[in-house]
Each structure stands twice: as structure tokens, then as C-alpha cells.
């Protein structure tokens, strides 16, 4: 089917920035605390957010190059023992629009600062949006492929 997609570019401006002391793989530790510093002029837009326990954070993977954005296929986590898959069938950072999406726990909201747990983004990452999480965002009966389950099981192993 022909796509007829507009060639028009979409322009976003960060609403804030991630601050964390975690470096490298430490950001994947789901118990880690990070801060999201929201632009001062947008602080008012946080009012009421403290009544939610969980948020989705959309952030810009600013370390991905234009060249990397052209990647169409990857082995999940670079593992050659897993199938070669389209980037849209994985959560790789190498995607045409490298926007990260992570569900985090909101620990505290104070002024223009959100304190969150479980954000796997590096220090200095531009934040694009935060959205409250609710039950509409869950699928209890979700089906995932075998390679995914395999990786999940390995993650659950003690290191």
C-alpha cells in the first residue's frame, strides 16, 4: 500500500532534562533514582502530578547519530544468538525517531523537579513529555516472542 506520508518535519523542544549520577549500564538498574528538571516556565504544568504513582517519560536519545537512525534491523541487545529483527519489533535505541519511552515510579514532585525511580536515561538526556500512567496503558494478556521471554528470564537471574 502506498504510504503518502507527509515529508513535513516535526519540531520538538525539550520540556526538561534528566539528572542522574548513574553512568553506563547503571541507568538500567530499576531501583535507581533520577531527577527530571522541568523548564522553569513549564513548572505550573506539573500541578496535580503528585497524585499519580507512575508516569511515562518520553525522552530524546540524543546520543544516536543520523547514521544510526537509518538502522532497519538488529539482533536484540546485539546478541547474534537471537534472530535478526526489524527495529520496530524491538526496543532498540537505533530507530528512525529515537524517542525513549519508560514507565517510572514518581517518588516526589517539588517545584520544577520530579524525582523518579527506574528511568533508564543518561544524565543530560532531553525530556520530551511526561504522562500519567493508568490501567488503559496495560495489557494483562500480552503475548511476546520466545526470544523476548528468554532475555527477560536472563535479566531475572542474579548477576
Query: In 10 A of CB 8, how many CB atoms?
Result: 6
Which of 26, 29, 40, 77 touches a copy of itself by CB under 8 A? 40
Nearer to a copy of itself, 140 or 159 (CB): 140
What does residue 42 show for φ and ψ, rounded to 5 degrees?
A: -110, 0
Nearer to a copy of itself, 32 or 54 (CB): 54
If binding is defined by CB under 8 A, does position 48 make contact with a copy of itself? yes
Q: Is 114 exposed, middle or buried (0-12, 13-18, 19+ CB in 10 A)?
A: buried
Query: Among candidates 110, 132, 136, which has minimal Cα distance to 51?
Result: 132
If binding is defined by CB under 8 A, does position 91 make contact with a copy of itself? yes
Least Å distance, CB 158 to a copy of itself, is 19
Per CB under 8 A, contacts with a copy of itself among 50-69 are 51-54, 56, 58, 60
If binding is defined by CB under 8 A, does position 121 make contact with a copy of itself? no
If binding is defined by CB under 8 A, does position 156 make contact with a copy of itself? no
Indicate if the alpha-carbon torsion angle 66, 72, 74, 76 is positive or negative: positive
Per CB under 8 A, contacts with a copy of itself among 95-114 are 95-97, 99, 101, 103, 105, 111-113
Least Å distance, CB 23 to a copy of itself, is 19
Which of 32, 33, 49, 150 touches a copy of itself by CB under 8 A? 49
* Cell of residue 140, nine digits: 494483562
Query: In 10 A of CB 134, how many CB atoms?
Result: 9
Query: Among candidates 49, 35, 46, 51, which has minimal Cα distance to 119?
Result: 35
Amino acid at each position: 500500500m502506498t504510504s503518502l506520508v507527509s515529508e513535513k518535519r516535526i519540531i520538538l523542544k525539550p520540556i526538561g532534562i534528566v539528572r542522574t549520577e548513574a553512568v553506563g549500564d547503571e541507568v538500567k538498574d530499576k531501583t535507581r533514582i533520577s531527577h527530571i528538571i522541568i523548564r522553569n516556565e513549564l513548572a505550573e504544568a506539573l500541578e496535580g502530578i503528585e497524585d499519580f504513582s507512575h508516569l511515562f517519560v518520553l525522552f530524546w536519545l540524543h546520543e544516536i547519530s543520523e547514521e544510526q537512525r537509518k538502522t532497519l534491523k538488529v539482533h536484540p541487545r546485539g546478541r547474534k544468538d537471537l534472530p535478526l529483527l526489524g527495529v520496530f519489533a524491538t526496543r532498540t535505541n537505533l530507530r528512525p525517531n529515537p524517542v525513549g519511552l519508560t514507565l517510572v515510579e514518581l517518588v516526589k514532585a517539588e517545584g520544577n523537579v520530579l524525582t523518579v525511580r527506574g528511568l533508564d536515561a543518561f544524565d543530560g538526556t532531553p525530556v520530551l513529555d511526561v504522562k500519567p500512567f493508568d490501567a488503559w496503558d496495560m495489557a494483562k494478556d500480552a503475548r511476546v516472542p520466545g526470544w523476548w521471554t528468554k532475555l527477560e528470564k536472563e535479566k531475572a537471574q542474579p548477576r
